Amino acid sequence: MKELLLRFHASEQQAGRSLREVLQKDYEISRKLLIRAKFSGEIQINGELAFVTRIVEAGDIITIWMDEEESENLEPEAMDLQIRYEDEDVLVLAKPPGIVVHPTGMHVTGTLANGVIHYWQQKGERRKFRPVSRLDKDTTGLIIIAKNQWAHDRFSRMQKNRSLKRRYQALVHGRVTPQSGVIDAPIGRKEESIIEREVRPDGQQAVTHYQVLKSTDDLSHIQLQLETGRTHQIRVHMSYLGYPLLGDDLYGGRRELIGRQALHAFELRFQHPRTGEEICLTEPLPEDMQKIVECSE
């Protein structure tokens, strides 16, 4: 069974160019995906099979059909998914704390991937699980899942050109000063640890913007935006400044107020990979973080 990956009418500006050029430059279809479409699908112009060398004419109806994907070897598990947005290309979920995004050696089942695969199977869809970004096990908030390879490729480009915007909120120990700033400090793996990261001169570039929303002598409620997406970036950077996240005992935080790192992905902003429409989604603070904010007022 085949599913429609892409359909559009060729414009005057696209006329006179090869189909390959239009697909790769205008729709950012990778060479790998184009080859897959050729051998595991159909590329059509006006309902007829077409070679990618064919010259496009204005008004041509171009469609790409793909064979349904084989589901990954993941155990489907029923899960109460908090769906915030879904269409043919994109699935956005609000992740609760304590859930791993993708199976690992230590977490083979009970992951977000297991729940999403079950959800798709219940809808009669066969797809691979393609998270656009990852959230740590105990970090809450919005996460994007691309529903096909083309959408995932386009999101990857957005990440590289930094047009995919993600904003977080966190609760940290101490009164953060100054009220706003940019942390530009490279992050690398800590020696003799497979989990912990640290700021180190030989690390990868990592840039975090922060702004204080509220603060007391004991804690601050802050908002953050990432330019880069290094593992544990916010947790490492705030600890490096001397303001570790509440509950983040891996990086110096204490757990008397909350039993996990107090970090929440509250906003996503991106251009839809197919329509170009700007999508902006927000997710309120989870109950455990909201209670701390209210008690500190």
Q: Which residues contact 251 (CB under 8 A, 6 or more apart)?
A: 196, 232, 235, 236, 238, 239, 244, 245
Catalytic residue among 136, 138, 153, 248: 136
Which among 294, 270, 281, 261 is positioned nearest to 169, based on CA atoms? 261
Sign of CA dihedral 76, 80, 81, 86: positive
Distances (CA, A) of 92 to 74, 146, 217: 20, 9, 36
SS3 222: strand
State the Cα–Cα distance between residues 241 and 239, nearest whole angstrom.
Answer: 5
Both tokens assigned to 281: 């989604």
The yes-or-no answer on residue 202 being catalytic is: no
Q: Between the CA of residue 235 and those of 3, 92, 102, 135, 283, what are the distances in Å?
A: 41, 23, 20, 12, 20
Instruction: Decide if 141 contacts 266 (C-beta within 8 A).
Output: yes
For the chain, how long is the longest CA-to-CA vector?
69
DSSP H/E element including 170: strand 165-173
Q: Which two tokens stand for residue 260?
A: 């996990």
Number of other CB atoms surrounding residue 44 within 10 Å: 16
Reading the block at residue 65, the tokens are 């059909």
Active site residues: 136
